[in-house]
Amino acid sequence: MEVGYVISQLKEFFDLYYKQKISSFNDEILNIDYKEISEFDIELTNYLDNNPIEIQKLFSIAFEDFFKDFDKQVPYICLINLPKDIDKVINKIRKEDMNKLISIRGIIQSRSSVNANITGIKFECPSCGNIICVTQEDELKEPSRCVCGRKGKFRILKKEFEDILFLKIEELPERLNPVESAGSIPIILRKKLCNKDYNFYLGCRIEFIGYITERIRYQRNKKTTICDYVFEANSYNILDYVDFETEITKEEQELYEDIKQHNNPALLISRFIFSGIVGCSRAKQALIYQQFCGKMFNGYRDYIHILLYGMPGTAKTDLAIRVSKINPICKVTSGPDISKVGFTAMVEKDELSGKFVMKAGLLPRCSGGLAVIDEMEKAPEQSISGLHTPMEQGFLGMEKAGISAKIVAETSITATANPKSVEKTSESVGNFKKVSLENCNLPLPILDRFDLIFTFNDHPDTKKDEMIAKKIIYRNSFDSFEDTFEGNENTLSQNQNTFQLKEDTFWHKGNTFHISTLRKYIYLCKKVNPKLSIRVEKTISTWYVNLRQASTFIGYENKRPTPRVVESILRLARAIARSKQKDIVSQKELEMAISYYDFIYDTDNIKNPQVVNVED
Ligand SMILES: [Zn+2]
């Protein structure tokens, strides 16, 4: 297809579909429907697919006369309604994808401020007065010579500018399998696309349509033959966080029905993923329900934070890592490893633009999902105190080095922490070593943000130790074994139908499943937004009033609940309802959530009302 023909076809297309809209059109951006173009002339879209660099220029030449009639300039053209098959996973971008119209999706990892970029310079020759225009790209260029023979020292008459913005996006975690690490790519936005730059906050989920081009890599100020991929954006769409499409097999559908219908779905799932770990069944269930949490709800957070606190050598880390595998949006780090970017964000010099950019830390990078922080007390103090706002509000504003950025971090946290010193601070009663929260090395305002704190004590228990030893032996001798150690909540018949095979697979009613099957289920559940029934609202307020009354008795002063406890319980109840894909939180889910908290008031050794004690 010749360029001249393309332009004349575009003119005809515009005349047919868009001309009548011009008189009332006053926007800076005009959306053109790709599907309409392809219906009009499929050869035209074929041409655009293979020549995306020319899109702005072609449309602006073709549409110029139409807009001129109304004394208007051609707006910036955004293509919308593109076919799904142009979608590319960032990790799989190869040289064949360059300079073709494609779309990519990801989470914004870093962003610059909006800058001016020189696109062209008009030079005047001081010898003969000739005017020479030079298009600018990458590095500043002067004319090499004038027609009169003069070389160099030309006078600059005028510079042309455009707005430019640099972003970097990272692949959506749910589109990767758990062992893949997320690829990232720099994005360049130009002209009118920079205008609504408040849309580009760190942690934002976004789709870009455009093309991949290359930037030559420099080494010691010299050009090398190695190129980095860069994405030139034509248009973008802000994504909802549950738009991941997935196929479900018949076997998976049956499994999902069983989970949904189960009285306590977390108990069932816990057999799929935790059967190698003895005991701590409440912590296991709470961790599973945490994965079913939402984001923000009516301006309040709808995701919960769990702290696993106790002696080294207890199963804390193992529990946290295992549960992370079933969350479709998840990142794992450990306190000592947390980089200088930290949990929220920091300013960094960008390789591509040489400008300072705001770079996202752990929480925004898994917004809508889970961040696991192992040995949290070993993270730098500054990083920990930075958690205060995002843990409660889900977003924060940051201003550093002249860049201000909104950061979204609607992220559940599962953290583990060890006591300051086991020997000195734990209270020893015979062989029993008990940990107290007072010996936790985390600041109080952060401890306060955790909805549930499970403490892990280490004490010899013949029956339990025997089970642990047996499990380890079984684990090393067979590929599979039946989970018959879960305690009295399990019946033998259930166990024969369901158990964990290896670390990442499990067996249920004759079928073997990979753990990623559960990620899919959780993703589906996250689309449900359960509401409270009137009866539930009444029950929770009665429960709270009664508990406040009870706490006035002497000896219970430190256990007095705050309204925060009510919020935590409702979050948990909503998560339980979501795990059954229920639209309404019923009495049953509320009672289950309350049971975690009632447990506290039956134990003597915990002072904080938000703490659930596990006597394992
Ligand atoms: Zn000249």
Write down the residue that tokens 């935590």 correspond to.
568
With 50 as the cut, is the pLDDT of residue 110 above it?
yes
pLDDT at residue 465, rounded to an integer: 66
- Domain boundary (238, 273, 291) is at 238
pLDDT at residue 265, rounded to an integer: 95
Q: Are residues 331 and 386 located together in one domain of the fold?
A: yes
- 154 C-alpha to center of ligand 1: Å? 9
The answer for residues whose C-beta is within 8 angstroms of residue 592's C-beta and 6 or more apart is 264, 573, 576
CB-based burial of residue 221 (10 Å sphere; 0-12 exposed, 13-18 middle, 19+ buried)?
exposed
pLDDT band at 423 (very low <50, low <70, confident <90, very high): low
Q: Are residues 117 and 151 located together in one domain of the fold?
A: yes
Of residues 551 and 308, which shows the higher confidence score? Answer: 308
Q: Are residues 479 and 539 located together in one domain of the fold?
A: no
Provide Rg for the chain, Cα atoms: 30
Q: Are residues 577 and 600 located together in one domain of the fold?
A: yes
Q: Distance between CA atoms of 535 and 533, rounded to whole angstroms?
A: 5
- Measured on CA atoms in the order 174, 177, 180, 185, is the torsion positive or negative? negative
Q: Which domain holds residue 593?
A: 531-613
Of residues 260 and 174, which shows the higher confidence score? Answer: 260
pLDDT band at 324 (very low <50, low <70, confident <90, very high): very high
With 70 as the cut, is the pLDDT of residue 614 above it?
no
**Residues 23, 72 contacting (CB under 8 angstroms):** no
Helix (H) or strand (E) run with residue 105 in it: strand 102-111
Total domains in the chain come to 4
Structure tokens at 271: 């057999």
- Measured on CA atoms in the order 113, 114, 120, 125, is the torsion positive or negative? negative
pLDDT band at 471 (very low <50, low <70, confident <90, very high): low
pTM over 0.85: no
Percent of the chain whose predicted confidence (pLDDT) is above 70: 85
Q: Are residues 495 and 411 located together in one domain of the fold?
A: yes
Of residues 217 and 33, which shows the higher confidence score? Answer: 33
Domain membership of residue 244 (yes or no) is no
**Residues 462, 269 contacting (CB under 8 angstroms):** no
Least confident piece of the model among 92-96, 226-230, 426-430? 426-430
- 151 C-alpha to center of ligand 1: Å? 9
Domain membership of residue 386 (yes or no) is yes
The answer for residues whose C-beta is within 8 angstroms of residue 377's C-beta and 6 or more apart is 335, 417, 418, 440, 441, 442
Q: Are residues 279 and 193 located together in one domain of the fold?
A: no
Domain membership of residue 566 (yes or no) is yes
Q: Distance between CA atoms of 177 and 171, rounded to whole angstroms?
A: 11
Domain membership of residue 245 (yes or no) is no
Q: Are residues 401 and 481 located together in one domain of the fold?
A: yes
Q: Are residues 501 and 556 located together in one domain of the fold?
A: no
- Distances in Å between the alpha carbon of 356 and those of 113, 167, 340, 365, 448? 8, 11, 15, 19, 35
Least confident piece of the model among 217-226, 395-404, 454-463? 454-463
- Region 127-153: mean pLDDT is 89
With 90 as the cut, is the pLDDT of residue 239 above it?
no
Q: Distance between CA atoms of 251 and 257, rounded to whole angstroms?
A: 10
- Region 11-19: mean pLDDT is 91
- 116 C-alpha to center of ligand 1: Å? 30
Q: Distance between CA atoms of 413 and 596, rounded to whole angstroms?
A: 18
- Domain boundary (483, 502, 525) is at 525
Q: Are residues 341 and 370 located together in one domain of the fold?
A: yes
Q: Are residues 437 and 486 located together in one domain of the fold?
A: yes
- Identify the bridge partners of residue 427 per DSSP, sorted by sequence position: 434
CB-based burial of residue 568 (10 Å sphere; 0-12 exposed, 13-18 middle, 19+ buried)?
buried
Among 551, 562, 558, 556, CA closest to 608: 558
Helix (H) or strand (E) run with residue 594 in it: helix 587-601
With 80 as the cut, is the pLDDT of residue 285 above it?
yes
The answer for residues whose C-beta is within 8 angstroms of residue 151's C-beta and 6 or more apart is 144, 145
Q: Are residues 92 and 232 located together in one domain of the fold?
A: yes
- Domain boundary (30, 55, 81) is at 81
- 147 C-alpha to center of ligand 1: Å? 6
With 90 as the cut, is the pLDDT of residue 602 above it?
no
Q: Are residues 328 and 456 located together in one domain of the fold?
A: yes
pLDDT at residue 179, rounded to an integer: 74
Q: Distance between CA atoms of 365 and 410, rounded to whole angstroms?
A: 10
- 169 C-alpha to center of ligand 1: Å? 47
Domain membership of residue 243 (yes or no) is no
Q: Distance between CA atoms of 55 and 74, rounded to whole angstroms?
A: 13
- 153 C-alpha to center of ligand 1: Å? 11
- 145 C-alpha to center of ligand 1: Å? 8
132-160 in b/e burial notation, b at 16+ Cβ within 10 A? beeeeeeeeeebeebeeeeeeebeeeeee
- 224 C-alpha to center of ligand 1: Å? 35
- 135 C-alpha to center of ligand 1: Å? 19
**Residues 196, 237 contacting (CB under 8 angstroms):** no
- 61 C-alpha to center of ligand 1: Å? 31
Write down the residue that tokens 């369901």 correspond to.
498
Domain membership of residue 309 (yes or no) is yes
Structure tokens at 193: 């696309």
Beta-strand runs (E) in 458-602? 498-500, 505-508, 511-514, 531-532, 584-585
- 120 C-alpha to center of ligand 1: Å? 19
Domain membership of residue 274 (yes or no) is yes
Domain membership of residue 260 (yes or no) is yes
Helix (H) or strand (E) run with residue 572 in it: helix 563-579
Q: What is the rounded end-to-end Cα distance, in angstroms, of the chain? A: 74
- 119 C-alpha to center of ligand 1: Å? 23
